[in-house]
Chains A and B, each alone.
Chain A
Amino acid sequence: MQVKKLTIWIVLLLLVIALFFLDIFLGTVKIPLSEIFKILITGKSSHPEWIVIVNSFRVPKALTALAAGIGLSISGLQMQTVFRNPLAGPYVLGISSGASLGVAILLLGFSGVFIGSNFSIINNWMIVIAAWLGSGLILFVILAISMRVKDIMTILILGIMFGSATTAIVSILQYFSNESLLKAFIVWTMGSLGGVSKAQLSVLLPSVLVGIIIVSFLSKVLNAMLIGENYAKSLGLNIKLARFLIFLSTSLLAGSITAFCGPIGFVGIAVPHIARMVFKTANHNILIPATMLLGGGLLLLSDIISQLPGYDNILPINSITALVGIPVVVWIIIKNQRMASLG
């Protein structure tokens, strides 16, 4: 039993490492594997442009995929446990809706300001900041509510309502905006791992790291939350503090990933279920690291698939994660028809 578990961990870890290097190896420009390792280790290469490609594009993209996969997956795990709902995900609190509202207001709401002027004013950083402000606003509202509202289901419903309200506002903004800005917005909603620059990575990675550090302190709390808040309370858990920390880490993770990469669907819902399936446990001491490995691996795989066809174009990452994630979610629904009993 123990040996079998250990084997699974080692295989998973090796798989993630292999996918990471495969993701760096693949791309429109063919670079031999030996050269890639040479660049990564010594920083030198016979082709100077390869150094730029590897260091400025491929490595940041692979790191982004790894970080986003890990962050979204453990956010989803936390939300599924807290809301005791198998279909909860990182965006259930309305974080992605908040982010898209921020981006929509920037791109579409101010379109009048930019018409005729220099469109390139709206650079990557501005989109990131707008998305972060949007999700931060939702985070603030949700945290304020969670300190007052007793019933966790009320928070879930409010999160969904916030999401619907922001979607409505975004639709209105879309209706009144011009074509080029609308396209920019649509492209953002498709998600992208490749758009994250080295400088942005220096913000994204620490944010994800802080989120992971918070979660790593929460495995005991999440285990208690699994059997319901009443029982958790009777075990001496400070429910409000626990909720605060869980929402904080989820928002930090999902919020910053969404800000830099756009909303990436289904990874956060599907991966925790894969982890439960592989390790056959509900214990978060195992589920948290398992979800991290599987999440990082799955998004790396999705990124590899998105560039695999050999075309110059890269498929939108959101479509790939949906196509990979939806079968998992469908499988969950069919296998376990009693929704409430899933944890």
Chain B
Amino acid sequence: MKNSIKNINNILDISSLEIGYPNSSNGNKSIFSGINLSAYKGELIALIGQNGIGKSTLLRNITGLQKAITGNVKLLNKDINKYHRSEFAQKVSFVSTDIVKVANLKVYDLVALGRFPHTNWFGKIKEIDKGKIENAIELVGMGSYKNKNITEISDGERQRVMIARTIAQDTELIVLDEPTAFLDLPNKYEIVHLLNTLSKNENKTIIFSSHDLNIAIQEADKIWLMLDNKIYEGAPEDLIINKIFDKMFESSKLYFDKNNGDFKINRKRNKLVGLVANNSNLLLWTKKALERMNFSVEPDNVEIPYVEVINNKWIYRNKEKNEEFNSIYNLSLHLKSIN
């Protein structure tokens, strides 16, 4: 399938890769095997998988920080082990899960470290390096933070600076291990969107691991999905259509909601309730609230006890009597009390 695409620049080619810890005390300890993946120029790739499945190990193999047990990783059609370390650092940059909090370290100085593989022994920053550092800081939107200490900025801002460092490193491939792990929701979206923008505008190939499936589906060109014994590759939409995501949590209570591109809890719904509303927004959110309380909601069914929503009033109707509430919360309190 992927071999048919010849005209796109091939950046990374992983074939028959087995990852883990070679030569540990009891022989090789394999974590994941049979990995065949590829990455092309300008692609944003999200690596998805459960905790402990080997996402970080795979990324460490790609970035040359860890050796493979078998198989090989080719970067620009050359085995990564054949690169000299400084040549490799000019091609691949990495943001790990380690949070950099060094007192007195300026944003500019941290980004300037990206020029490390391009400068001489003394680390002399020339005009061309200065330009690349300034440009990298501007690209991630941190222009006004240049002289701030790295310890004085927020987690999301720090992550932007770490990304600026990889831009300054001027590599074909950027690899990030869970760049959104400790961020709040708006920052998660912004960071992944920034990666998307960089992959498109700067033509960088970017691989990042994440647990935020819905964000990855919205922004990534390609998903690498690590399941128990197989790794799937494809556009997020391909994986949705082919029901690959459903396999992710087959054994758990979660299921994949194709409409939202997100996982949901499969609830045991044992109580029936009808729902009538004249406003689709109120209908949606009342339905969500009732489902959270383990009701199985039947829209427009007035044969059973049902909730009617009129003009921001919630009326619970059953045979005995009608009761009116001015918020979903008060309705929920009542429903809890009668069950």
Listed in ascending order, the chain A residues whose CB lies under 8 Å from chain B are 84, 217, 219-220, 223-224, 226-228, 230-231, 233-238, 276, 280-283, 285, 336, 338, 340-343
Contact = CB atoms under 8 A, between A and B. Distances in A.
Contact of B103 (A220, A224, A234, A342): A342
Nearest to B166: A234
B206 interface: no
A238 B84 CA distance: 10
12 contacts: A219-B122, A220-B123, A223-B109, A223-B113, A227-B105, A228-B100, A231-B113, A234-B63, A234-B93, A234-B94, A285-B123, A341-B151
B102 A227 contact: yes
A280 B113 contact: no
Contacts of B96: 230-231, 234
Contact of A226 (B89, B94, B105): B105
A231 B88 CA distance: 14
B54 interface: no
A217 to B, nearest CB: 6
B86 A341 contact: no
Interface string B273-313: 00000000000000000000000000000000000000000
B122 A343 contact: no
B169 interface: yes
A220 B93 contact: no
Interface in B34-80: 63, 65
B116 interface: yes
Given A230-B98, A285-B123, 9 more contacts: A223-B113, A231-B96, A236-B88, A236-B89, A281-B104, A283-B109, A336-B103, A341-B102, A342-B103
Given A220-B123, A227-B110, A276-B103, A235 B65 contact: no
B197 interface: no
Given A224-B116, A236-B90, A282 B104 contact: yes
B211 interface: no
A42 B151 CA distance: 54
Dominant secondary structure of chain A at its interface with chain B: loop
Interface string B90-129: 1011101010111111100110011011010111000000
Given A227-B113, A281-B104, A234 B86 contact: no
Contact of A227 (B85, B100, B103, B119): B100
Q: Which of B102, B110, B119 has the most CB of A within 10 A?
A: B102
A283 B106 contact: yes
Interchain residue pairs A-B with the least CB separation, the first 6: A236-B89, A220-B123, A343-B102, A235-B116, A236-B86, A234-B94
Nearest to B122: A220
A236 B117 contact: yes
A237 B114 CA distance: 12
Contacts of A282: 102-106, 109
A276 B85 contact: no
A236 B100 CA distance: 18
Contacts of A84: 102
Contact of A280 (B104, B116, B122): B104
Contacts of B110: 227
Contacts of A283: 106, 109
Nearest to B117: A236
B102 A226 contact: yes
Contacts of B65: 230, 233-234
A224 B113 contact: yes
B201 to A, nearest CB: 23
Given A227-B110, A231-B94, A219 B123 contact: yes
Contacts of A219: 122-123
A280 B63 CA distance: 33
Interface string B158-200: 0000000000010000000000000000000000000000000
Contacts of A227: 100, 102, 105, 110, 113
Nearest to B91: A236
Contacts of B63: 234
Nearest to A277: B104
A282 B251 CA distance: 50
Contact of A217 (B86, B88, B122): B122
A237 B100 contact: no
Q: Which of B85, B88, B93 has the most CB of A within 10 A?
A: B85
A70 B80 CA distance: 43
A302 to B, nearest CB: 25
Contacts of B122: 217, 219-220
A153 to B, nearest CB: 14
A338 to B, nearest CB: 8
Contacts of A340: 101
A276 B116 contact: no
A55 B310 CA distance: 102
A84 B105 CA distance: 13
B96 to A, nearest CB: 5
Nearest to B88: A236
A343 B89 contact: no
Given A219-B122, A220-B121, A220-B123, A234 B89 contact: yes
